[in-house]
Amino acid sequence: MSDKDFNLEVLAPAGSFDALVAAVRSGADAVYLGLKELNARAGAENFDFDSLLAAAEYCRERAVKVYLALNTIVFDHEAGKVLSQIKVACDAGVDGIIVQDLGVASLVKEAAPEMRLHASTQMSVHSPAGARLLYEMGFDRVVLARELSEEEIGEIVSSCPIECEVFVHGAHCMSVSGQCYMSSLLGQRSGNRGQCAQPCRLPFSADGTFAHDLSLKDLSLIGHLSEIRDLGVVSVKIEGRLKRPEYVAAAVRAVKSAVEFGRAPKEEMERLKAVFSRSGFTDGYFTGRRGPDMFGIRQKEDVARATEKVLASIRAEYKGENPLVPVRINFEAKMGAPAVLSISDGENSVTVKGGVPEEARSLPLDFERARAQLCKTGGTPYFVEGFECELEPGLALTAAQLNELRRRALEELARERKKARPIPCRLPALEVEKRLGDIEPRLRVRVQGIEQVSDIMKGAEIVFVPIDAGEKGIADLMDKGYSVGVEVPRAVFGIEKAIGKRLEKLRALGINDVLANNLGAVKLGLDFGFKVHGGFGLNAANSFAARFLEKLGLCDCTLSFELRLDQAKDIGGSIGKGIVAYGRLPLMLVRNCPLSRIGCAGCGGRGYLTDRMGKKFPVMCSGFGFSEVLNCVPLYLADIRDELWAFDFLMLHFTDEGKDEAAKVTRQYLEGGEPKKEGFTRGLYFRGVKDGK
């Protein structure tokens, strides 16, 4: 048997207990679910501690795994809630915890080293180096970014032993997961906190019309599951914790059919499309066919397809138990002794005794009659794969006696199977040493292009230039007295080897500092011997994440700009910390350009989207196969420098500014800026993000 000759795990969403039942009875091998807080689908019904225990019991009896999604960034004041969730997950004996936040990951590893740890797609891992770093950190599985091609997935799977999980059906965010800040910056509802308000589904257009150029069709790779299996992926995941149970059932059935038989029947795919779609489905990233055809919205005809007749037909299919667990039965009946029935599932064995058989007056009990009666497991999760019987001739047992014997044995087996196997858990202390930064934060500058660098930036501690800036230009800056670092691209889809070679050259050139906004970039920077500075894309939002980054070997980190200023100031640990203090904050990191309808000729790499209010959002092409959608106004804090005293550094994040404008802003942060009346934002530093649904 080859290492790729295995069954794919079909992993289903469970936003409620009803959805969980629908998933299990439709054939899911595993489900993922969240508690009421700290999961990426806060709008779902979700589970409390008691219903999580019940869900784990239900699934355990039916040989279905349960993964707890604790997959949001968290703030320091929520650390106690994190530990409570870890404890109940361990008590319930769940099969793994899915996390986004590095601080949460560190708490899981510290509290319950035996708990399996899964890296959420919100971690934005999309490269072999990112997967390798997770494996070195003790993760068991990574949920890969949805924007990967078949070849790119294969490259990651073969890079290290970590298990890889791939989304194969469901809603498709425009942004790389974990790198979308649109909902938080525009409406204080953070996608990284499970509160996304989906502003991307509203009209945003490249040409001033009422198009929806940030809304993708739903993903469906159901037609590619044989290729995915051949890549060595271990689990295929369905999105949909906000969807109704009928959707979950239809999706599981279609995926399961494709896994078992190579394809899903046409009628199942049509029914799945009827339950929910946005102008159909797309497989664009997997196949590399990116472009306008991937975009779509939920239209009237899409809604109309989900008739009560369709939904009722789906419900009928999971109305009863799905016999998932094979058992073997052994029956023994002898004169003068109680009848004995033993049932085994291969791991658990139970034995029950019944009445004493009598001498048969007419029709004695034989093998076939005993098997027919004792192998009736309808209405239970069990099916009989083996039956053995030892009967003395001439004995009689009534059908009622046999039925009672079977019922008691199956109930006893169910009790054994439901028993939790708690995972050892010892909750750590939550204290992290608080450390204030310099009274006067140092200034750092990040530029989109080397042409933005001006003389005033010599006053910055580091000027981060793009990794693809010309070597001559970088050398000239160094000769002129600039302290130069390089920024690894926020996304390295399929170009990691080229990035590694470039880093090797830059190291030889004398560059010592790397700005890393993803885990793959962190790994590359450390491996090549750079001083690695964590960027905002790592979403460090609590003291435990900061401490963990320091243990990884980073010298400092830029904190998440989803923190309030007072929260950011309170982040503990000895690693250096800073904030983004200026710039058009990136709202989205996208691989399929939202300006694709008008084409590159109509944009020149620096176009913009217009919303329904007429606001313009720049779209900047990186040259590395991704684009960034920027906020319509820049973050500006130069006039309140006296409120930024607690940080080691302030990062100025220049994007579409010209050289003169960048110089002017740098001077304002070095010498003091004047208050602005309009055309700027304070970001979330004083508003914060909302906690409620």
Q: What is the CATH number of the domain that holds 99?
A: 3.20.20.70
Give the mean pLDDT per block of 10 residues along the chain (693 residues). 63 98 98 95 93 97 98 96 97 98 98 98 98 98 98 97 98 96 97 96 91 96 97 98 97 96 93 92 94 92 91 96 96 96 97 94 92 95 96 93 96 96 93 69 97 97 97 96 97 96 96 98 98 98 97 97 96 94 98 87 79 94 93 97 93 97 97 91 96 60
Judge if 270 and 414 occupy the same domain: no
Is residue 146 packed enough to be buried (19+ CB in 10 Å), middle (13-18) or exposed (0-12)?
buried
Question: Which phi and psi (to 5°) does residue 250 adopt?
Answer: -65, -40
**Contacts with 342 (C-beta within 8 Å, 6 or more apart), sequence order:** 329, 330, 331, 349, 350, 351, 409
Same-domain check for residues 44 and 134: yes
507 and 579 share one domain: yes
503 and 543 assigned to the same domain:
yes
* Six token digits for residue 209: 């019309």
3-class SS at 207? coil
In a domain, 499, yes or no: yes
For residue 502, being part of any structural domain is answered with: yes
Domain end, chosen from 278, 299, 317, is at 317
Per-residue model confidence (pLDDT) at position 2: 38
Determine the 3-state secondary structure of 118 from DSSP: strand
How far is CA 330 from each of CA 123, 163, 323, 347, 396, rounded to the nearest angstrom?
50, 39, 19, 15, 18
Number of domains the chain contains: 3
Amino acid identity of residue 5, one-letter, is D
- Within-domain flag for 666: yes
Binning the chain into helix, strand and coil, the percentages to the nearest 5 are 35, 20, 45
> What is the number of H-type helices and E-type strands within the chain?
21, 30
Terminal CA-CA length for the chain? 49
Secondary structure letter of residue 436 according to DSSP: -
Joined tokens for residue 99: 């996390």
Which amino acid, 653? H
Please report the pLDDT score of residue 213 as a whole number.
95
Cβ contact 548:102 at 8 Å: yes
Contacts of 48 by beta carbon, 8 Å cutoff, 6+ apart = 35, 36
Q: What interhelical angle do 308-317 and 245-261 show, nearest 10?
A: 60
- Supply the pLDDT for residue 430: 86
- State residue 253's pLDDT score: 97
Q: What count of other Cβ atoms lies within 10 Å of the Cβ of residue 275?
A: 22
Q: pTM score, two decimals?
A: 0.95
246 within domain boundaries: yes
Same domain, 38 and 79: yes
Number of Cβ within 10 Å of residue 392's Cβ equals 14
Using only the alpha carbons of the chain, give its radius of gyration.
29
Domain with 138, as residue range(s), is 9-172+216-317
Kindly report each contact of residues 53-56 with a partner whose C-beta sits within 8 Å and lies 24 or more positions away, as own/partner. Answer: 53/88, 53/91, 53/92, 53/420, 54/17, 55/14, 55/17, 55/20, 55/31, 56/92, 56/93, 56/94, 56/420
Are both 652 and 516 inside the same structural domain?
yes
Does 577 map to a domain? yes
Q: What's the rounded Cα separation, in Å, for the pair 469 and 489?
A: 12
Q: Indicate whether 340 and 305 sit together in one domain.
A: no
Instruction: For residues 48 and 162, state if they share a domain.
Output: yes
Both 157 and 274 in one domain: the answer is yes
Residues 253 and 348 in one domain: no
> How many whole angstroms separate alpha carbon 232 and alpha carbon 164?
8
- Residue 431 is predicted with a pLDDT of 80
State the Cα–Cα distance between residues 418 and 92, nearest whole angstrom. 10
Our CA angle for 81, 86, 92, nearest 5°, is: 125
Do 343 and 242 lie in one domain? The reply is no
245 close to 312: Cβ distance less than 8 angstroms: no
Whether residues 244 and 267 share a domain: the answer is: yes
* Alpha carbons 320 and 379: distance in angstroms, whole number: 7
Contact status, residue 456 vs residue 663, Cβ threshold 8 Å: yes
Residue 687 in any domain: the answer is no
Q: CA-to-CA distance for 628 and 590, rounded, in angstroms?
A: 6
Residue 125 half-sphere exposure toward CB, CA atoms < 13 A: 33
In a domain, 85, yes or no: yes
Q: Which three-class secondary structure string do you get for 229-283?
A: HHHCCCEEEECCCCCCHHHHHHHHHHHHHHHHHCCCCHHHHHHHHHHCCCCCEEC
Residue 207 lies in a domain: no
